[in-house]
Each structure stands twice: as C-alpha cells, then as structure tokens.
Structure 1
Amino acid sequence: MTKPASEMQKTIWDNPSDIIRSRAPDHPVMAFSPLALEATARRFLDGFPGQVTYAVKSNPDPSIIRVLYKTGVTGFDVASPAEIDLIGQIAPAAARHYHNPVRASAEIAHAAKAGIRAWSVDSQSELAKIIARVPPDGVEISPRFKLPVSGAIYDFGSKFGAPPELAVTLLQEVAARGFTPSLTFHPGTQCTDPAAWESYIRTAGDIATQAGITPARLNVGGGFPSHRVTGAAPDLEAIFALIARVTRETFGASAPALVCEPGRGLCADAFSLITRVKALRDGQTIFLNDGVYGGLSELPIVGNLDRIEVLDPKGQPRRGEPLSRTIFGPTCDSVDRLPGELDLPEDLKDGDYVIFHGAGAYSTATNTRFNGFGEMEHLTVRALG
C-alpha cells in the first residue's frame, strides 16, 4: 500500500510505534532520540565533578558527536586514527584523548601530526615509542593501571592496564621526561557498583605517593552503566558523589582534576532497536530479523537487554502474559542466538515488532552484513517511549 505523502516526507517521528504504524519496516530500524541523548549528557555535565568526555568507540555516529558537542561535551576519547580524524572534522575545538594504550608507530605519527596532546600508556615499551616520536611540551601522558574487576560485566584489565607497581615507574618516567604526568583507569563496562571507583581512586593515591609525583589529572574511565534491565535506572548521581568524595579524601588539597570518558553511559539510552518477528516456530522459538551479527552483537557477552516492548503491526502493544522463549537472529548460523531466554507476551505473532530499548551502545558500530542480512535504517524520533 502506498504511504500518504505526509508520511513519505516525514523526517522525525514521534516515537518507535509511530515508525511502525507509518513505515511497517521489514528491516531493523535504529530509532535515535537527540533529546534523550541531550538529557543524559546534561546529567553528566551537571553531576560529574570534572571534565566529561565521550568514548567514541561505543557509537561513532556523527549525529551523536554533534549533539554532545552542542550540549557542552568538550572532549572525546579516541582509539584510532579514524576516530581522531572524525572528531577533528566534526568538533575541531574539542580535546581528543588518545587513550588506547597500544599503538603502531604510524598511528603515533598520525596522532602527533593531528595535534593530540593527551595519551595513555600501560607498558614501558609503549611509553618509549611515544617518547621517541612526541615532543613533551604541554603533552600529557597518563599511565593506565588495573585492579581485579569488581561489579562490572567484563574486565578491561584482562587486556589493558599496568599493575600498580609498574604504574609507579611509568609515572616517574613520564615526569622525568618533561611530560605532564597524569593517571587513568577503567573499572570495567556496565559497572553498577560505585565501590569499584573507590578502590581505583585510593590506589591512584598510593601510586602517586610511591612515585613522589602529583598527577595533574585523574581519568576515572568509563564503565558508567546504562539502563539495561527492567527496574530502577542506574544511580549515576551516587557514583558522581562517591568519586568526588573519595578523591578529596585520598588527595586532599593536591587533588588532581577529574576526567571521565563514558561511552555506553552516554549513548545507550538514546536509541531503541526495532526488530520484527520473521517466524514464530511452533509457538515457541522466535526468529527476529536482527541478531548477534547485527544490532544485538554484544548480548552474548554482556547478557540480555530486557527493556523490551512488543507491538503488533498497527503499533499497539501486546499484553499477553509473559512466556519465556528462545530467540534466534535471521542468519543461517546457530551462533546467532540471544543468551538464555526472554519473557515475551504469549500472544506474540509473526510480523510483530520487538523493540529493544537502550540499544545505542556497541550495536551500530559492530553491525555486519553477514549472510546478506544486517541492513539497518537509522531514523530520528522525538521520544523513545
């Protein structure tokens, strides 16, 4: 059926159900609410006691960068030459923190030419590579240290981070070479336990004391949680307050300036992924038109996103009793399955829509076209509910 001209020309929808009623999409749709992103950004800017930067890797969509920059986010955590250049083009006056601690020599040269002035390291060999290629004048280098993970979904320390004793040596070398010495850490993704930040901040104080160096800044990393599961949203303000209090207690009058670099915590809740049921097999197993090779790629690692809404093709909610079901994606691959089971209404039918709210992080950036699937449309909405 041909859509009315008013619907065909529409560029901003009211909400995901409006998209379903107007478009009846057969492919996955990522609905983006700039207003929701702005609200989360203001929550960080108003509450965090320092500079807020955005970890570009979580979702590098230029629309996100523009909204954050306009809202007042003045820095971006970049992990590659491509991300360095992206921010340079969209937000040229913003600070770019190159905090991926492992880089090829050519990547260091690219970053230096681009004017990068904030780096992190977690090994002596990587520090030596920077020292050999980057003049120290006004350049900050932050040793990145690690502790056993606590309260997070998965542990960045398995790949990155120096033990505290090595961080002492690195901090001393950074200062001795004339660079601005700072410290950084990452407590782990989706970290809902504020105590993780407390342990890291107090360890940062120990490192500084042992090194005899006062760090200029302390970057408390990302890890700030998004609203993944049904129930109360994460208490970001409690985390912000703890970070401020523990930093004062640990460093006193010589407290370093604070920096954070949320990715998921900023962007996830500004997006909802609209998927469609392509098959309900014998009333039990559900096949969606998107899965772990698409916008749901990280679910097998971090667990199901259970803030879910089920609508019929007219955009009306299904209200049947919840029934636990196995959910597969569209590809001809048995790995394409969401972990465990999800509770979905018992009156769900073929052609219905399953909306995953809070799906903006590590979804579009990792979407593939495996098996000929993965086409994803990006549309703008005023609200997500």
Structure 2
Amino acid sequence: MQERAGKIMQTVWQDPAEIIRKSQPDDPVMVFAPSVLEQTAKRFLDGFPGLVTYAVKANPDEAVIQTLLGAGIGGFDVASPAEIDLIGRLAPGAARHYHNPVRARSEIAHAVKAGVKAWSVDSESELAKLIEMVPPEGCEISPRFKLPVTGAIYDFGSKFGATPDLAAELLSRVAEAGFTPSLTFHPGTQCTDPGAWEHYIRTARDICDMAGTRAHRLNVGGGFPSHRVHGVLPDLEAIFDLIGRTNAEVFGDDAPALVCEPGRGLCADAFSLITRVKAVRDGTAVFLNDGVYGGLAELPVIGNIDRVDVLRPDGTPRGGDEMGRVIFGPTCDSVDRLPGDMVLPDAIAEGDYVVFHGAGAYSVVTNTRFNGFGEMARATAMSLEIAA
C-alpha cells in the first residue's frame, strides 16, 4: 500500500481523475503508470539498433528500475557511487556504464571495487586517473566528444565533451593503454532533430580515422525526446532508423556496436504530476502547491509542459474559454514561477487541480522541500489518460 501524510492510498488507481475525486489531495501527487513505461521501453528495445541502457539520474525510483528490468532493459548509465550501488543491488547482472566523465579518485575506487567495466572521459587529466586506477582487462573507456548543438533544448557541451581533435588523441591513448577503445556523445536534451545524431556519427568516423583506431562501440547518448507538447508526438522510430542507417553507411563492415542511454525519453511520459490551485489572485495569477523548488524544477530551464489538464475537485475537466496565466509555486520566493504564461481555463478556481503529464524526468529527484513545502505523495495508476 502507499502512504500519504498518514493516509493509506489504494494500491492501484484507474487514472489521476479517480485520485482527485476520491482522495482530494492537498499535497502534490506523482502518479506512475507502469504500463506506459513498459510500452516506451518496448519502443526502444524494438526500434533502437543496439543496446539500450537507462540513465538512472532521470528518475532513480526503484519501481522505475524494476519495471524497466521486467520490460527487458539490461543496462544502466550510472553517474555516481550511489547509482552504481542502487543498480548493483536491484540488478546485479546488469551492465553499468559510468559515463559521468569527471570523477574524484574516491569515486573511481568505489566503481572499480563494484566491478564497473565501462567508463567515459573527456580530458587528458581524467584519462590519466583512469589509466592509473582502473585495471584495463575487460574494461572499456569511451572518449566523449561534443559538437555545436542543433535541435536540442539545451546543450550539454558547455560542461562535458572533448573537441574531435582531443577525442582522437584520447581514443589513441585508450587503445595504447590496453583498454577497449569506444566513443560516446550526447546531442543535447529533448533533441527532436534526427540530423543531430547523423552529424555526430559522421564525426565519430573522422575521430577514428584521426586516431588510427577502431571504436569498439559508439554510444549515441540520450537526448531522445519525451511528449511535452500537445499534438506533437516524438518520432523515435525516425531517429532510430537514421542512427542505424548512418552508422552502417559511415563505418561499413567495420561499424561499431551501438549503445544509447535515454533517461527522459524512457521515463518522462510514464508519470503525471497532480498539483492543486491554492489561490487565484484577483482573477489573474495562479498559485499552485508545487513549483520550481519541487516537481516542476526543470521547467524554467527547458520550458513549460503544455500537456496539462485542469480538473474540478470532483475530477471532471474544467472546460470553457482559455487565457494565459502567470503560474507561481507555493514558496515565499519570487523565483518560484513557471516561465512565461500558461494557457488555462478562464474559469480556473481555488481548489481545482492542474495535472502535468509527462512529468516523470528530473522531477522527483529535484524536490528540495524548500520553505517547508514539497511533500509529495506517490500513486500508481492503470492509465494517465483523463476522459474529456
């Protein structure tokens, strides 16, 4: 059973509307639909032409990990000792790729002791640490390279990634040191342009040629988009197809095995966040019981989710004319505001519920409990769809 503020919630609900109608929650509720996660995992497993690993940082909830394991996901991208240990406990036979390219020596030692065999790197200084501390037998090191971002909401290259020239030098040194040489990149979060992956794969071939070294595997990163905008479904299959075709064309018979590491693209759409309207200030700004210090933390960075339902306390949709509203969270901090305006029903009222769909990535893990807010209940549902 699931507990919320001392109350017992039933094990599985029909949908978020039933939770609202029967429970009337005053705190935010994160609703998980395992069937949606299973369906998304199947899309990746059936469509991606290589190994699918899950980026644990997006949502490390044990129910998520267990559901993915049940769906057939057998590898995980881990970025910290805590994530290494989590997967080691829940899935001791699964592959763990430690692809955070900058690590303290204590973190490297922890991963070596845990049996991690796959690493990434983007600098000479970090590669020197790995060569010093990691036994090369059976271990893979993948230089991570970066290119100017295209088609993504924000660019990971400002923090991680070597230039192609440096990546070639690193790849050559990896091979010389006796490790299995591979390559990895990340096209940027919520990347909707398949051409970004094509550009990276073609550059990967250039790096191999400069290094005079074959890449055993090519990890094409995450960046696979989730469904954030009404009427715009991510075309994952088009991305998968272009990745496979480009890899075969560019490398020919010497093509590296492909790996991907989706986080958001796997877990986001399997969750919906139920929030409640605390107040509508003089008919203008809407105040919610959750905001940027809680489950909506990433919206100021990547933009609003517009897949939103507004429900009355009886669980029925609040229809009618719509208008743009400023949305504030519950804390006593003016930064606690969603970007721009959100289009919501003109008749939205105190006590109504605003349900954000596709909220499963970088939400549970960023809940700060700042200012005493942020208590979040968890619930499981058969479906996240709400009837009109």
Kept after mapping to 1: 8 A contact 2:269/2:358? yes
What amino acid does structure 2 have at the position aligned with 1:287? F
For 1:162, the equivalent position in structure 2 comes to 162
Kept after mapping to 1: 8 A contact 2:9/2:379? no
- Does 1:263 pair with 2:263? yes
- Does 1:115 pair with 2:115? yes
Q: Over aligned residues, Cα RMSD in angstroms?
A: 0.8
For 1:233, the equivalent position in structure 2 comes to 233
Cα displacement string for residues 295-330 of structure 1 (whole angstroms, at most 9, x for unaligned residues): 000000000011000000000001111111100000
- Tell me the distance in 2 between the aligned counterparts of 1:379 and 1:10: 8
Count of matched residue positions in the alignment of Structure 1 and Structure 2: 379
SS across alignment from 1:12: coil
For 2:292, the equivalent position in structure 1 comes to 292
SS across alignment from 2:286: strand
SS across alignment from 2:366: coil
- Tell me the distance in 1 between the aligned counterparts of 2:132 and 2:211: 23
- Tell me the distance in 1 between the aligned counterparts of 2:200 and 2:8: 52
SS across alignment from 1:144: strand
- Does 1:25 pair with 2:20? no
- Does 1:362 pair with 2:362? yes
- Does 1:58 pair with 2:61? no
Check 1:186–1:9 CA distance in 2 against 1; reply closer, same or farther (3 A cut).
Answer: closer
Kept after mapping to 1: 8 A contact 2:224/2:264? yes
What amino acid does structure 1 have at the position aligned with 2:339? P
1:8 deviates by 5.2
Kept after mapping to 1: 8 A contact 2:38/2:71? yes
For residues 175-254 of structure 1, the aligned pairs below 5 Å read: 175-254=175-254
For 1:85, the equivalent position in structure 2 comes to 85
For residues 108-147 of structure 1, the aligned pairs below 5 Å read: 108-147=108-147
What amino acid does structure 2 have at the position aligned with 1:203? T
Runs of 4+ in structure 1 off by over 3 angstroms are none
1:24 deviates by 0.2
Cα displacement string for residues 243-285 of structure 1 (whole angstroms, at most 9, x for unaligned residues): 0010011100000000000000000000000000000011111
SS across alignment from 1:230: coil
SS across alignment from 2:31: strand
1:231 deviates by 1.1
For 2:150, the equivalent position in structure 1 comes to 150
Q: Which structure 1 residue ranges, 5 or more long, are not aligned?
A: 1-6
- Tell me the distance in 1 between the aligned counterparts of 2:328 and 2:10: 32
- Tell me the distance in 2 between the aligned counterparts of 1:45 and 1:8: 36
- Tell me the distance in 2 between the aligned counterparts of 1:86 and 1:222: 20
Identity of aligned residues (%): 70
For residues 60-79 of structure 1, the aligned pairs below 5 Å read: 60-79=60-79
- Tell me the distance in 2 between the aligned counterparts of 1:282 and 1:355: 22
- Tell me the distance in 2 between the aligned counterparts of 1:153 and 1:202: 22
SS across alignment from 2:39: helix
- Tell me the distance in 1 between the aligned counterparts of 2:90 and 2:233: 31
- Tell me the distance in 2 between the aligned counterparts of 1:243 and 1:128: 32
- Tell me the distance in 2 between the aligned counterparts of 1:336 and 1:29: 19
What amino acid does structure 1 have at the position aligned with 2:306? D
For 1:4, the equivalent position in structure 2 comes to none
- Tell me the distance in 1 between the aligned counterparts of 2:297 and 2:8: 31
SS across alignment from 1:13: coil
SS across alignment from 1:323: strand
1:210 deviates by 1.2
- Tell me the distance in 2 between the aligned counterparts of 1:288 and 1:338: 10
1:10 deviates by 1.8
What amino acid does structure 2 have at the position aligned with 1:109? A
- Tell me the distance in 1 between the aligned counterparts of 2:291 and 2:246: 41
SS across alignment from 2:145: coil
For 1:101, the equivalent position in structure 2 comes to 101
1:209 deviates by 1.0
- Tell me the distance in 2 between the aligned counterparts of 1:332 and 1:217: 49
1:9 deviates by 6.0
- Tell me the distance in 2 between the aligned counterparts of 1:113 and 1:94: 16
SS across alignment from 2:365: coil
For 2:3, the equivalent position in structure 1 comes to none
For 1:346, the equivalent position in structure 2 comes to 346
Cα displacement string for residues 84-112 of structure 1 (whole angstroms, at most 9, x for unaligned residues): 00000001110000000000000000000
Cα displacement string for residues 15-68 of structure 1 (whole angstroms, at most 9, x for unaligned residues): 000100110000000000000000000000000000000000011101100000
What amino acid does structure 2 have at the position aligned with 1:254? D
1:339 deviates by 0.2
- Tell me the distance in 1 between the aligned counterparts of 2:343 and 2:194: 29
- Tell me the distance in 2 between the aligned counterparts of 1:138 and 1:372: 48
1:364 deviates by 0.3
For 1:35, the equivalent position in structure 2 comes to 35
- TM-score scaled by length of structure 2: 0.97
- Tell me the distance in 2 between the aligned counterparts of 1:155 and 1:380: 33
For 2:4, the equivalent position in structure 1 comes to none
- TM-score scaled by length of structure 1: 0.98
What amino acid does structure 1 have at the position aligned with 2:287? F
1:232 deviates by 2.3
- Tell me the distance in 2 between the aligned counterparts of 1:78 and 1:196: 24
For 1:283, the equivalent position in structure 2 comes to 283
